[in-house]
Chains A and B, each alone.
Chain A
Amino acid sequence: MPSFGDAPLLEVHGLSKRFPGVAALRNVSLTLQRSEVLAVIGENGAGKSTLMKILAGVQTPDAGEIRLNGQTVRIDSVHTAEKLGIALIHQELNLADNLTVAANVFLGREPLRFGLIDTKRMERETLPLLAQVGLDCSPATLVQDLSLGCQQMVEIAKALSVGARVLIMDEPTSSLSQHETDQLYAVVKDLRQRGVSIVYISHRLGEVTELADRVVVLRDGQNAGELSRVEITHEAMIRLMVGRDLSQLYQRPSHTLGEPLLEAYKLRTQANPRHALSLAVRAGEIVGIAGLVGAGRTDLLRALFGIDRALGGTIRVEGKKVELSGPHDAIEAGMALVPEDRKQQGLVLGMTVRPNLSLASLLRDSSRGLLNHAVENEITATMIRDLNIRTPGPEQTAQFLSGGNQQKIVLGKWLAMKPRILLLDEPTRGIDVGAKQEIYRLLDNLAAQGVAILFVSSEMEEIIRLADRAIVMHEGRITGELDRAACSEEAIMRLATGNL
């Protein structure tokens, strides 16, 4: 490893940041060495994202010091961070998807020729950057035509093009398929070789074990501990994150199954009309739908919930055929859907916890259209308590809660409706271990009460742990079903990639 003097590349000391109602960070410190992959982990609301946003100049700290190469710096804007060589790859990608790859890489720094953008030069200079991140596409490709994984690589290429020495990646794999994730690992390792330091935020302990040279754990906005390469184990990380031993990762008890509650027969979705999809979920059964991103799993759930009209086939609830002209019909039939994107589809972010929790049940609880405040407050209090939603109160704006707590609100909104069939799309995406276990336990309890549960997940571990039965999809069709005994990562992968 080359040496540049004694000071670490980046030192953070005593950083504090408050938001209305929450102390996001309290006196947090960390160091980052050259050519190091430093994982920052912690539960929802532990302050990881805030810390990263401060380093990247998106937010300014209320107190604390940041040193780069031993020099105190003030990072007051994204522009300053960029000049200092710090770049943040956001959880939600920040690309203009109507522009080309090259135009995105050079956004704001376009090379000019006679005052006009020199597209040729831009594309020429983008090529080596794409090679560095292992992206095999033309610089003239529109970003919207790339998969999410490739878009992420474009973001990284963009950061490299401005000479980033510190790359901050916030949950980079949360929406990637297995293949794309592997590719990302390779790129991260390669960048480390080239002397780039990486701060890696993740909820997936497996990938932390795989990639990290060191782990910094945050809890409730404070430093909770640090692990060196040799100390990194699942148990050690979980202990520091939750502040106690998690006696046992989720173990699903067996239970009896009832009659089929939800049946789909030869359903054709708008996205994949060529394939007829049939499936059934019984009372008390948890069925997982596995597959790669883009396999048509979300489209299936959308059709089952009436968001997109099915082009053919029938849906039966408790043996009775139902016609779905919209979600209201599905809800009428006893269904609920926890959608893929909680910020866009699950929550009204600008409203507080209370109206979000009561949104679906308002109509049922109203008389002559008048709001029933008593019932609304009761639902809010019950759900905050039962689901252990961590919020300063019912009048906290949903936007200011962490991902796990937001997801619990979406779940609570539906539990208030007491659904008999619960559909979930990536129920634990971007959620920490602690909240994940809580959601698993909750789903298990619901199944024990006779609710039929159908969920989509890109995490194979989740499918294996949670599902009584897994349905695997590939390119719009169901390629197989695996019962609990046959459900392994290899078996799922074989079906998910179409290797039958």
Chain B
Amino acid sequence: MKKILGILGLLIFVCSLTAIINPNFLGATNLFNTLRWTSLFGIISIGVAFVIITGGIDLSVGSTIGLVGTTLAYLLTVRHVSTPLAILIVLGLSLLIGLFHGLLITKVKLQPFIVTLCGLLLYRGAARFISNDQSLGFGSAFAGLRELAIGKVPIIGSVTLPLPLLIMTGIGIIAAVFLHRTIYGRYLLAIGRNETAVRFSGIRTDRIVILAYVVCSLLAGFGGILFALDVNSVQPSGLGEAYELYAIAGAVLGGCSLRGGEGSITGVIIGAAVLRVLYNAINILGIPTMLEYSIIGFVLLAGAIADEVVKRYAAKRKAARELLADDSVRSDEASA
């Protein structure tokens, strides 16, 4: 809970600062786009969070996005497959990718880093091969489908919200219920801290870990569809490139420990938002975009340091307080 408040504070701070320096930050279009992008990155961050909570990692998210986006464009524009079937195929593809990772990690006992690093290379290559490395545009033929990524939902009067925001909220709620209200969520958190003890308690930990990788790849695949529709023209070598890093950074900023066993969906979504707002701020404040990575790296590092310092300070304060309470009890006993 404290972690969520901390990251929420950071989000409000960055938003306020940006808005004060350049009020255009609060412009309707800018806010709408920032929310939209936050939602897209939020979806893939939630997926990665599942894997990170088990104590694993998925480096292949960006390439999965690239492969799914490219395949979707290829099926729709080159092979003229029907839209529902094309979507079904690419979601099935991402499910298989997750299953592939999960099986290699649990049954063959490979390290998640290695498996998904190879995935990162494999799927990027596959995307470029399928498309012959040519960019594929959706053109204007799929305007209806594109609404998924760029649609506006009227709320009150002229206020509209991006459709992806509603999609992400839905996914977020399901994910949060799964994590905190179901036994499988409990297993995930416990596995992240001590897989052996969970296995010795009769839980088929392999299945839970596989499930986490499937959820991660599936959400990456779903994100891939949205990212592809958002740009409307898929560049096989570029779509989703380095997005795994944004997803991981969002999850970690949002309170997931890379050691596993910790994390909340709300935190992850706010974490993703911080990254998008930073990106937006760099653009509208006229900061050289060359510095983008440096600034994001700096904020992540500052967050990690602050988290650690606050944790230590709180532990010290608590111990000191209890020692004091203890002494007063003892002097009471003595005077009685």
Which positions in A face B, CB cutoff 8 Å? Answer: 16, 18-21, 23, 26-27, 62-63, 307, 326-328, 330-331, 337, 339, 344-351, 355, 359-360, 362-363, 366, 369-371, 413
Contacts and interface: CB of A to CB of B under 8 A. Distances in A.
A350 B194 contact: yes
Contact of A19 (B181, B199, B319): B319
B181 A355 contact: no
Contact of B198 (A16, A20, A330, A359): A359
Interface stretch (B4-12, B158-166, B182-190, B296-304): B182-190
Given A16-B326, A23-B326, 11 more contacts: A18-B322, A23-B323, A26-B326, A27-B330, A307-B200, A326-B202, A327-B202, A345-B200, A350-B194, A355-B186, A369-B183
A359 B201 contact: yes
A23 B321 CA distance: 12
Contacts of B197: 344-348, 359
A249 B319 CA distance: 38
B200 A326 contact: no
Contacts of B204: 326, 328
A345 B196 contact: yes
Prevailing SS type, chain A contact patch: mixed
A413 B315 CA distance: 29
Q: Which of A21, A348, A369 has the most CB of B within 10 A?
A: A348
The interface centre, meaning the residue of B189, B200, B204, B330 with most chain A CB atoms within 10 A of its CB, is B200
A181 B261 CA distance: 39
A20 B194 contact: no
25 contacts: A20-B318, A23-B323, A26-B326, A62-B323, A63-B323, A307-B199, A326-B199, A327-B199, A328-B202, A328-B203, A328-B204, A331-B202, A344-B194, A345-B196, A351-B193, A359-B198, A360-B201, A363-B183, A363-B203, A366-B182, A366-B183, A369-B182, A370-B181, A370-B183, A371-B186
Interface of B: 181-184, 186-187, 189-190, 193-194, 196-204, 261, 315, 318-320, 322-323, 326, 330
A337 B200 contact: yes
A350 B330 CA distance: 32
A351 B191 CA distance: 11
Given A19-B319, A351-B190, A370-B181, A360 B202 contact: yes
Given A328-B203, A337-B200, A348 B193 contact: yes
Nearest to B187: A362
A118 B181 CA distance: 58
Contacts of B315: 20
A327 B200 contact: yes
Q: Which 6 A-B pairs have the closest CB atoms?
A: A331-B202, A350-B193, A362-B183, A360-B201, A327-B202, A348-B194
B2 to A, nearest CB: 14
Nearest to B190: A348
Contacts of A330: 202
Contacts of A349: 193-194
Contacts of B330: 26-27
A363 B182 CA distance: 10
Of listed B193, B201, B204, B330, residue having the most chain A CB within 10 A: B201
Contacts of B194: 344, 347-350
Nearest to B185: A371
A20 B203 CA distance: 31
Contacts of B201: 327, 359-360, 413
Contacts of A19: 319
A134 B318 CA distance: 47
